[in-house]
Amino acid sequence: MPRLATADETVRAEFLQADAPATQSEKPIIPAVIVYLGSKPMCSIPMRGRVYTETTEMESAVTEDIEQEVEPAVTKTIGGKTTIVTPAVTKTVQRIVTPAVTITTKKIGDTSAGMTAYAFERLDAFGRIIQSRIMPDSAPPDVRGRPFCRCEHPDHLVQFHFYKEHKNGPNEFRVLFAGDDGADPETRRIQALTRKAAFEEYLARATRHDARAAAELRETTG
């Protein structure tokens, strides 16, 4: 059974409202792939707001010094006795025994702090296909060969979900979810489902709030 909030906790929460817009600290990081479905050879979409990445070193790397020979010694042998003419030239290098332990965290910046530009390009300056920006053959048939960008900002995902170049035109973008590259198939499947569910929950919350705000505005203005 869930624990009920105490009076002090309720005051600290400042009377949270159901379906209220998410605060900056509440906005989730949701990795997604945005596919451009339009016909422009190059499409660039700027959006207000950014995702900031911070890397913190929890444990320093463990290293050891190793003497490395740069030039061998020059020797000569006279009467069966070897004499060093020129000693070897060595240098000390550091070898990492144990790499540093770091933690990477991401957070959503305030909408007034910077912009994010999404560039959907199929060809480079020489007219060659940029394979790293093209959806692979393993993607759904309707997006194969289409240019894409990666996006983690939930508000940007919502904008791409509804984006139309013309008011009554088709959607220009497709929002897709996948697992991390390099993960095993089952892990990738679970990651994709989790990210899709997180976006659908965020989208539903934003949609309900906008609908309620529009209804209240209509009632106010008559």
Query: Which residues fall within 8 angstroms of residue 170, CB to CB, at 6 or more apart?
Result: 37, 164
List Cα–Cα distances, 138 to 24, 135, 161, 181, 210, in angstroms. 35, 8, 22, 13, 36
Task: Indicate whether 12 pLDDT > 80.
Answer: no
From 30, 34, 60, select the one nearest 201 (Cα to Cα).
Answer: 30
pLDDT in tens, 142-175: 999 999 999 999 999 999 999 887 777 788 999 9
> According to the model, what pLDDT value does residue 147 have?
94
Phi, psi of 186 (to 5 degrees): -70, -40
pTM: 0.70
Mean pLDDT of 188-216: 88
More confident residue, 160 or 215: 160
Mean pLDDT of 128-133: 89
Pure H helices in the chain? 7-12, 154-162, 185-221
Contact 74, 88 (CB under 8 A): no
